[in-house]
Amino acid sequence: MKKFLKLFFSLNFLMSSLFTVYSCSATEVTNELTFCDSDSEKNLTTFLRSDNVSIFNSFFENDFNFPLDIENNKLNKDYTDIYERRYVDNDFIYDYSSVEGNQVVMDVNEKGNAFPNEINNIFIETNNLQSDFSILEYSGVTYILTLKGYKGFSNYTIFIYKTILSSENDKDKVIRKTTFQKIYKKNINIIT
């Protein structure tokens, strides 16, 4: 339970770590993120290497990797996809499905913003992404950022997913659903 609470408070103003994720459809359109300025690529890697960031390779086990691990301008480990898993407790059913990459968790310093100022100062599009959800009712919308890359490579890819929370009753349990829709991506060259 302590693992759940730690992740619970880490995500976008109390974003829950317990996700039901449905695969994205083949008709999904993923737009390219736009940098705010010429230093943005370097600034992103610097921020992801800071103590303000934790990178999860699971929605459930909370296996931390922090910060982004780079050596000699190359990734020092793999950041691969998060795969499906189901969790059932006394009152709830949580289904975890896959997303591309590992989840990047960071503190958000302004209410309503989906991402912290450090990310909003790097990408133009993130300034318009607002979180509006109730964790108690398990409803609403927020956004998450994931990172995918492979050990020895001098680049990685950032993805942004729109995250829709909902819940429904099923017999004697409540099913908490989180639907991910990939909306943005950006290939990043490692510049330190």
Task: Using alpha carbons, select from 183, 188, 187 the residue that is nearest to residue 31.
Answer: 183
Q: Within the chain, how many helices (H) and strands (E) appear? A: 3, 12
Question: Would the pLDDT of 11 be above 50?
Answer: no
Q: What is the model's pLDDT at position 59?
A: 77
Residue 143 CB burial class (10 angstroms; 0-12, 13-18, ≥19):
buried
Q: What is the C-alpha to C-alpha distance for residues 191 and 48, in angstroms, rounded to an integer?
A: 12
> pLDDT band for position 61 (50/70/90)?
low
Q: How many CB atoms lie within 10 A of CB 2?
A: 7
Reported as a single tens digit per residue, the pLDDT across 112-133 is 899 999 999 999 999 999 999 9
pLDDT of residue 66: 75
Query: Is the pLDDT at 185 greater than 90, yes or no?
Result: yes
Could you tell me the residue ranges of all domains in the chain? 2-24+33-189
pLDDT band per the 50, 70, 90 thresholds, residue 10: very low
Q: Contact at 8 Å (CB) between 154 and 189?
A: yes
pLDDT for the residue 1: 35
Closest CA to 144 of 192, 175, 100: 100
pLDDT of residue 63: 63
Residue 185 CA from chain centroid, whole number:
12
Tell me: cis bond preceding 67? Omega within 30 of 0 counts. Answer: yes
Structure confidence at residue 89 (pLDDT): 87
The pLDDT of residue 14 is above 90: no
Question: Whole-number mean pLDDT of the chain?
Answer: 83
Torsion of the alpha carbons at 100, 106, 107 and 113, rounded to the nearest 10? -40
Mind listing the pLDDT tens digit for each residue in 16-36? 333 334 344 445 679 999 999
* Prediction pTM value: 0.82
Task: Quick: pLDDT tens for 139-184.
Answer: 999 999 999 999 999 999 999 999 889 898 888 899 888 888 999 9
Distance CA 155, CA 148 (A): 9
